[in-house]
Structures are given as C-alpha cells and as structure tokens.
Structure 1
Amino acid sequence: MKALITLTSSESKRLIAKGIKGMSSIQNAMEKHTVIVAGGTTNAFVAEELLGIQLEDKTSYTMGIVTGGELGVSKSSKKIPPYVIANGQSQEISWKDCLPKLQRGDVFIKGGNAVDHTGLAAVMVSDSMGGTIGAAQGTLCARGIELVVPIGLEKMIPDVRAAVEFMTKSSVDEAIGNKVGLIPMVGATVVTELSALEILYDLEARCIASGGVDGSEGSVTIAIEGLDEEVQRAIQDIKSLKGEPQVKVH
C-alpha cells in the first residue's frame, strides 16, 4: 500500500521527536546511560517526548533562532538550560559539567540548520568559540559517543560540504540579523521525517515535494509504502499529531 502525507514544520518536529524516542540507542541510553538534549526548537519537542513534559514556549529552549526573516537570538524571558537525562531522569547538572564524564553508550542530541541528500548536517553558530557544537564535538568524536541530529527536511540544502567550504573561505562582513558561521556535524546520526517514519513503522518513505502557503510554509509531502497494516497505522498516528501548534516567538 502507498499513501501520501503532508506535514507542517511543527508536525514534522513532533514526528521526528517521536522517532528519536523510538531509536534503540536512545532507549538504551534512557535506561542505562546519559542523554544530553542540547538547545533548539526541534530539541524542545525531543525533550517533551523523552521526559513526558510540556514546554509552552519552545523558543525558551534555544539560543539562536531564525524569525522575522532574520538570523537572531531568542528573546524569551524563560530560558531553559539543556536537559541532562541519566537513567531516564532529568538531572540538576549543567551539560558542560556532564560533558567530560560522557562514556560510550551515552548520547548527545543537537539540532541543525542544514542537511543535504548525503545525510551530512550542519549548524549555524554566532558564538566565536563555536557554541554548543564547538564545545562538544571534539569530545564526542574522541570517545565514540553518538551524536544524534534531529532535523526537518525543510532545512534541506543542495550541498552542506560546499556551503561550509564557502563560509570558511572568509568572514562575514554584513548580515540581515546576526553574523553566523556554519559547522558540519560529520559522523552524526541524522534523523529526518523519513528516518523517523522508518524507525516507527515497517515501511519505506520518500519526500516528493515541499512548501506551501497560509501556515504550510516549510511543509513536506511524503510518500510512504509498506504492508497495509503498517501504512494504516502510520496514517492514524500522523492524523493524531495534525494541528501541532506552530512555534511562536513569545
């Protein structure tokens, strides 16, 4: 059976978060190890799914934000620091203090701003020291700790490597909004809507179109195919998350 589904940006974020929760490495880390959920609006959805909580202001869980047609910084007055989850429970510890203690089996979750057809993802940073990924990536690579990147297909660009190489040739002189750099997240486990669907259901998924109007800007249309019961189960679950509120700047 083949079916079509269309997801708004927020619906995609919710689906991706559910896919993250369904990953075997995440389930193992939630049970026996440590999961760090770095800042980001998609990661706010991930934190909700992993901890069974609700974050009314998703922009409180991010520093950088693209809104109003500009590169900016969240102005939320209720900033929430990244969650550190050990053995399934949120801990009162800074992720930076936890970073040196990470071991194989732990997982670091970091959102991104760009992904290409090869599965390479990158994140924009305005901090001169590389922000969160600049502080974490060396440790993660050196210790073989899984970096999971939840990222919607609305952020698909032609070539991440080419974009990174172009950005690193020289510094940015002017910008509409904040000046940023672009850091690739090589070796990361990238989770899009497609991989989330394949994690949650026994089916194949392909993105066949993107875009829309009147609140559906950034939407993606996906074809799914598999056994009738799996496709029907996926459709029913997708229907249950339809109407996910857009992430608003408070």
Structure 2
Amino acid sequence: MKALITLTSSESKRLIAKGVKAMPDVINAQENHTIIVAGGTTNAFVAEELMGIKINDKSGYTMGIVTKGELGISQSTQKTTPFVIQKGQVQEIFWKDYLPKLKKGDVFIKGGNAVDHTGLAAVMVSDSMGGTIGAAQGILYARGVKLIVPIGLEKMIPDVKAAVEFMTESTLDESIGHKVGLIPMLGASVVTELTALEILYDLEARCIAAGGVDGSEGSVIIAIEGLDEEVSRAMQDIRALKGEPAVTVQ
C-alpha cells in the first residue's frame, strides 16, 4: 500500500519526537540509564513525549532561534531548562553539571540547524566556546555516549561538509541578526520524519516535495509504502497529530 502525507513544521516535530521515543537506545536509557534533552524547539517536543508533560512555550526551550527573518536569541518569558532524565525520573541538576557523569548507555539528544542527504547534521553556534555541542561533544565521543539529533527535513541543505568548510575559511564581517558558526555532529544518529516513520511503522518513506504558504511554510510532502495495516496505522496516527500548533514566541 502506498500513501501520501503532508506535514507542517510543527507536525514534523511531533512525529520526529515520537520516533525518538521509540528508538531502542532511548527506551533502554529511559529504563536503565540517563538521557539529557538539550535545548531546541524540536527537543521541546521530544521532552514532552519522553515525560508526558506539556511545554506551553517551546521557544523557551532554546537559546538560539531563527525568527522575524533573522538569527537571534529566544526572548521567551517562559524559559525551560534542559532536562536530565535518570531511569525515567527528572533530576534536579543542571545539564552541564551532569556531563562529567555521562557513560556508555546514556543518551544525549541535541537539535540541529542543517542536515544533508548523507545524514550529516550540523548546528549553528554563537557562543565563543561552541555552545551546547561545544561543551558536550568531546565527552560524548570519548565515552561512547549516543548522540541523537532530531531534525526536520525543512532544514536540509545541499552539503553540510562544504558548508562547514566554507564557514571556517574566514570570519564573518556582517550578519542579519547574530553572527554564528557551524559545527558538524559526526557520528550522530539523525532522526528525520523519514527515520521516524521507519521506526514507528516499518515503512519505506521518501520526501517528494517541500514548501508551502499561509502557515504551511516549511512543510514536507512524504510518500510512504509498506504493509496495508502499517500504512493504515500510520495514516490514522498522522491524521491525529494534524493541527499541531505552530511554535511561536510568547
């Protein structure tokens, strides 16, 4: 059976979050280890799915944000600190303070700003020390901690490696909004809408088009194919998440 679905940006974020929750590494970490859900609007959806909570202002679950046509810093009045979840329970500890305790079996979830067809993702940073990923990446690599990057196909660019190399050739002189750099996240498990559909329903999924207007900017159109019962189940679930509110700054 083959079907076609269209997802707005926020609907994609919800689907991706559900896919992340269903990953074997995440299920294992929820039961036996620790998960850090770093900042990011998509990660706000992930936090909701993992903990069964509601984050009303998801723009407050991030620092850097693209809004009003420029690169900026979230001005949300409802800031939410990234969660540290140990064996399914939220810990009263700042995520950076937990970094030295990370070990194999733990999971670090970090959003991104760019992904390409090879599955390489990157994140923009304005902090001189590399922001969240600058603080965490060395520890993750050294200790074999799983890095998961939930990221929508609306953020697909032609070539992440080429983009990173271009950005590091020289410094920026001007910018509309904040000046940023670009850090690649090698070895990360990238979860897009396609990955989520494969995880949740064992379907083959292909993005065939993207874009929209009048609130559907950033939408993706995806064709799915698989067993009749799985495609039907996917369609039922997708219809249920249609109408997911857009992420707005409050």
TM-score (norm 1): 0.99
- In the other structure, the counterpart of 1:116 is 116
- In the other structure, the counterpart of 2:82 is 82
Structure 1 position 165, deviation (Å): 0.1
Structure 1 position 83, deviation (Å): 0.1
> 2 CA distance for matches of 1:172 and 1:36?
32
- Aligned-residue Cα RMSD (Å) equals 0.4
> 1 CA distance for matches of 2:23 and 2:83?
18
Superposed, 1:77-226 pairs within 5 Å as 77-226=77-226
Amino acid at match of 1:196: A
Structure 1 position 115, deviation (Å): 0.0
Q: Deviations over 1:55-111 (max 9, x none)?
A: 000011000000010000000122111100000011100111110000100000000
> 1 CA distance for matches of 2:170 and 2:220?
34
Structure 1 position 171, deviation (Å): 1.0
**Any unmatched runs of 5+ in structure 1?**
none
Structure 1 position 162, deviation (Å): 0.1
Superposed, 1:8-23 pairs within 5 Å as 8-23=8-23
> 1 CA distance for matches of 2:202 and 2:66?
35
State the secondary structure of the residue aligned to 2:198: helix
Q: Deviations over 1:158-197 (max 9, x none)?
A: 0000000000011111100000000000000000000000
Structure 1 position 237, deviation (Å): 0.2
State the secondary structure of the residue aligned to 1:60: helix
Q: Percent identity, please.
A: 79
**Any unmatched runs of 5+ in structure 2?**
none
State the secondary structure of the residue aligned to 1:215: coil
Q: 2:48 aligned with 1:65, yes or no? A: no
